[in-house]
Chains A and B, each alone.
Chain A
Amino acid sequence: MYNVVQLFAKYGAHIMFVVLEIICFYLIINYNLVQKEIFLNSSNVYAAKIAQQQSKISQFSNLRNQNDSLMHENATLIENLITIEYSSDNIPEADSFYNQYSLIPASICNSTIHLRNNHFTLCKGSREGIKKDMGVISSHQGIIGIVRNVSENFSHVMSLLNSQTKISCSIKSRKGHGSLVWKTMDPLRMTLESIPKHEKIAVGDTVITSGYSTMFPRGILVGKIEKYVSIPGSNNYDITVKLFNDLTNIKYAYVIQNRLDTEQTKLEKEVVDE
């Protein structure tokens, strides 16, 4: 006891200083919103900076691949333009694609591919006009996913490789449409469901988006039919689709902006409400 008293007599001022400062910081953190947020997030500020640097470096080291893919993409676009000019019948509703839909290019900050439910993060957000439920494609040849959540500078995209994905697709120059789901763990293959058995299909047919949702316009190329099985006792084929694009190796994406989006959903919702 005597020792304790002596300790206080000797170091009382220092102990008091520490105690008072602790009280002050307790008050600061609990009653000041800004400081509270910084206290909770200060590690995030550094982490975000490091991640940004890292993505800069990896972007630089990937330039050659990126250039290649950009050139391919340009090539596809030019091909399409030529097709439109010479035989505008080959791509259905080609005009509406260019009027109704516009593309927002964005780079991909973060992505997962090896999980059951995969996600992407785009480096652009609501400031650039991205909204929830917009479709995301990597080029004319390939869907990436659907925007699920948007902040000011980033948007969170549900990847195509996700157990919740269900995208309405049809087969080019054939009838009928089905939905594209991801059942295997293979990032290159997906399954096309509910194409009825009376439709004729063949291995090597091209799968395109059907355009029945507001997210994707008709005619975006998805993949090729690799094989199909007609399950006994079912009305539908079980079709394995090999995707055109490799989702494990993409850095850039285009978000599809549909100008008539709200109009369509509003109209459809009115019918459902009745």
Chain B
Amino acid sequence: MNSAIQTNIIRIIFVFLAQVLIFKQITFSLGGLAYIHFLIYPIAILLMPVKTSRPVLLVLAFIFGIALDMFYDSPGIHAAALVFTAYIRNIIIIFLEPFDGYNIDDVPTLKRMGTGWFVSYISVALLIHTFVYFSIEAFSFVFFFEIFLNTIFSFIVTFIFVLVLQFIFRTKY
């Protein structure tokens, strides 16, 4: 159990640094219609053990989001989206529960839960997160078309990248 905590702390730090130092710099423009943002940071929260209690997830998401916002100069936007994702995460996990239930030390990674489970879990969670993030950023559903485009394109790119990362770093926890 101890090494699970260690792995998660290291992962959170690495994801944070990667997001701030590398992925923040990368934005593509699709002919002025939509912008592609790499929003890989939700995996820091999404990959925590299945049985992590909700308050812990929420507080971690809040702190992580605020720290990220300091670098993005957008107080509260990432935090609000990430807290929402942390809240919705357990609901998704319950929906995807296998026949024989979860083990006490299950981790929602590709290696442990299998490709099918992981793909459906991470795609739903990331899609919701991206949509919520762009909605809060635009802050009004008048811009629904822009929100929609941004969400779709950013989601595809981020999703592919997260899968690749999972194939590279096959962590135990």
Contacts of A13 in B (CB 8 A): 53-55, 58, 87
Report A15-55 residues with CB < 8 Å from chain B CB: 16-17, 20-21, 23-28, 30-32, 34-35, 38-39, 42, 45-46
Cβ of A12 within 8 Å of any chain B Cβ, yes or no, is yes
Judge whether A28 and B84 touch: CB under 8 Å.
Answer: no
Q: How far is the CB of B91 from chain A (nearest CB, A)?
A: 11
Judge whether A21 and B140 touch: CB under 8 Å.
Answer: no
Contacts of B58 in A (CB 8 A): 13, 16-17, 20
| CB closest chain-A residue, reference B57 | A13
Judge whether B83 and A28 touch: CB under 8 Å.
Answer: no
Q: How far is the CA of A211 from the CA of B107 in the complex (A)?
A: 84
Of A17, A31, A42, which is within 8 A of B87 by CB? A17
Of A27, A34, A38, which is within 8 A of B76 by CB? A27
Q: How far is the CA of A13 from the CA of B90 in the complex (A)?
A: 11
Known: A38-B139, A39-B139. A24 touches B55 (CB 8 A): no
Known: A12-B55, A13-B58, A17-B58. A38 touches B140 (CB 8 A): yes
Q: How far is the CA of A46 from the CA of B143 in the complex (A)?
A: 12
The SS class assigned to the A binding surface is: helix
Known: A38-B139, A45-B140, A45-B142. A20 touches B62 (CB 8 A): yes
Interface residues on A, range: 20 to 34
Judge whether B80 and A25 touch: CB under 8 Å.
Answer: yes
| CB closest chain-B residue, reference A30 | B75
Cβ of B79 within 8 Å of any chain A Cβ, yes or no, is yes
Report B63-107 residues with CB < 8 Å from chain A CB: 65-66, 69, 74-77, 79-80, 83-84, 87
Of B61, B79, B139, B142, which is within 8 A of A35 by CB? B139
Cβ of B136 within 8 Å of any chain A Cβ, yes or no, is yes
Q: How far is the CB of A25 from chain B (nearest CB, A)?
A: 6
Judge whether B75 and A28 touch: CB under 8 Å.
Answer: yes
Judge whether A42 and B140 touch: CB under 8 Å.
Answer: yes
Judge whether B142 and A27 touch: CB under 8 Å.
Answer: no
| CB closest chain-B residue, reference A15 | B55
Q: How far is the CB of A227 from chain B (nearest CB, A)?
A: 55
Task: Name 28 A/B residue pairs within 8 A (Cβ), A-sorted.
Answer: A13-B53, A13-B54, A13-B87, A16-B54, A17-B54, A17-B83, A20-B58, A20-B61, A20-B62, A20-B83, A21-B84, A24-B62, A24-B65, A24-B77, A24-B79, A24-B83, A25-B80, A27-B66, A28-B75, A28-B80, A28-B139, A30-B75, A32-B74, A32-B76, A34-B139, A42-B142, A45-B140, A46-B142
Other A-B pairs, 12, CB within 8 Å; known A20-B58, A20-B83, A32-B77: A12-B55, A13-B58, A17-B87, A24-B62, A24-B79, A27-B66, A27-B75, A27-B79, A32-B74, A34-B139, A38-B140, A42-B139
Residues of B at under 8 Å CB distance from A? 53-55, 58-59, 61-62, 65-66, 69, 74-77, 79-80, 83-84, 87, 136-140, 142
Residues of A at under 8 Å CB distance from B? 12-13, 16-17, 20-21, 23-28, 30-32, 34-35, 38-39, 42, 45-46
